[in-house]
Structure 1
Amino acid sequence: MNASDASTMEALWSPTTLGSIHLAHRVAMAPMTRSRATGDGIVTQLTRTYYAQRASLSMLITEGTQPSADGQGYLATPGIHTGEQADAWRTVADAVHDAGSTLVVQLMHVGRVSHPSNTPHGRQALAPSAIAAAGDMFTASGPQAMPVPRKMTRADVAQTISDFRRAARLAVDAGADGVELHGANGYLLQQFLSTNANLRTDEYGGDIAGRIRFPIEVAAAVADEIGADRVGFRISPGSPLGDIEETDAAELYPALVAGLAPLRLAYLHVVHLGDDGLLRSLRDGWPTGLVLNRAGADMERRAQDVRDGLADVVSVGQLALANPDLIDRIVAGAPMNSPDRGTLYGGDERGYTDYPRLAA
């Protein structure tokens, strides 16, 4: 690393705060589904070890965690809507704090990206409109087409907002430093934003003002419950995941950010897919911390984002997954482990807690 690169990297190492969450430096762990919870959505001792191993990162954003039984779409994902689930998360939060980091639980309601056989109650999925997402869902009996979801009634909307609120309360009462609302990757909150998943004609659909209403109401309810300074919101403008189309992303996301801004949430988490003009617009319109996930970029490029003021914190995914001592490796300029793609989802400790450290 030359002197210029070293100077750029220094931007990562100063402490900062995101709302009430104090970070020792500017490198956080991005949320990543690992599908290693029990059948009833409870995280395990392996989960505790996995997060504690990665506590050299300043903030650990957990895998997507369903705020209700209706929010589950995949096999073996964790929940935080029962006391037993919350008690298990408490052990994770304690381990992460003991190791010197902070824990933010990502609340993920998958909406239509689901299959009834993957849920504890076997019910039809909920979504803004009764339109199936293209593609298959992996189930215990193999891949199956994702079925048509049930269009949410106003009562469903109100109940889902209440579910997010309660899950956030359970998370912070279990010791989490905050929660992140998953408004990205084709899941429920982004489905409401979408021009092909949301064909509603009531106040939750139609124009941009209607389509952003539900995500903003969820954020407002959660902020009211646990404090805005403990709440993040993740977006992925223009992402096609989950069979999503956003034909008006250039107007949609500035409007969403403008609607969220008065809440003064702890942070906005942006998955950057290449539209630099939109990213700058969102940065300029956001009043608090911005976490940037520039997938695939090297650490020098991510550090430059902090130095340029595009980001306050950068989040890293598979680098953190495969390198429990990621910060040590960055500082030392050491080679990185590569992730074992065959063990990303489901399984045991292999590809989860057994990645080697430098000292090994």
Structure 2
Amino acid sequence: MSIHATEIRIATFNVSMEAENYLPKGQRGNQQVLIDRLADGKEPQIQAIARIIQLTRPDVIFLTEFDYIESPAQGVEAFLQNYLAVSQLGAAPIDYPYYFYAEVNTGQPSPFDLNRDGQSTGVGADAWGFGFYPGQYGMLLLSRYPILKDEVRTFRQFKWQDMPGHLTTVQADGSPWYEDAAWQQFPLSSKSHWDVPLTIDGKRLHVFASHPTPPVFDGPENRNGKRNHDEIRFWVDYISGEQGHYIYDDSGLAGGFDSQAPFVVLGDLNASTVEGDAIAAGIQSLLQHPRIQDPQPGSRGAAEHSPDNPFAAQHTAVWRMRADYVLPSKAGIQVLSSGVFWPAADEADYSLVKKRETSSDHRLVWVDMRLK
């Protein structure tokens, strides 16, 4: 909770709210499934997610796996009005007057056989980002502070081939995994990359938000692992001066982040330096970047969930890994405290995280900070 004007709480939360979660195994959803549940106001999983947000009360929160629904009234605004603005089991309602919500690459059909299974289906692994309909696994930024929407930069259409030194995916015989026509069109972002500037009591803060692909669900070619690495590396280059010269946004503006304004890199990055299947060099280069500070938040619940794991206290996902990050810049930001919403079995609201289906397989991660 904000204490005074320049002290803020920023969070990230993979809410696992894509429509497929509501359907029997083997069925594929569409946006209407989530639209109906957002309109209802009584969906137990979404009520639990809303209660977690109401209890932790971030000033700015980035949600992943929240389907992109073109009509805000049916998507983000329905969530704000029917869930966050309504007390969940006695928690105080919370209001976010500003939000940013845009298209993502998940579920966007390609005409190519991207996973080389002999079929070009246009969905699933043959979409530009894994998904079975456009907008699945989307992204949403909510803020109590104004968003400078005219200055937002999105990088959904940036081509992977345009990143110097990108990791190359090849077949067993050494030939390129992706056919040339597909590679010419292939976006780096599995969802998108956003640079969203906020104005907070006269101070400027940039939010760098993304949700790289899980580095699994592929084969020995490790195409998803390499994409995950390069999606994370994008932010390393973006904040590294001339190193990000090659970057261009969806409006055609070239170059990386050329400001000394404070920023926060956040999202479900699907990578850890010590666990999981990601190419560790990607996330390590971000965590060790000279402009970044890493608060390393933790929780009793995570430690209890994996009692024999030396890294357990910092886990942010039930499948036992630190996957979700809030990483403030060193310039302009003083970290005050940090944490993960993961109650232990003897703590209040443990029921919100006891089962995966109750809320999410990820936990909300927050950092309290003071803008200098």
The alignment's TM-score, normalised by the length of structure 2, stands at 0.44
Q: Which has the higher helix share?
A: 1
- TM-score by length of structure 1 reads 0.45
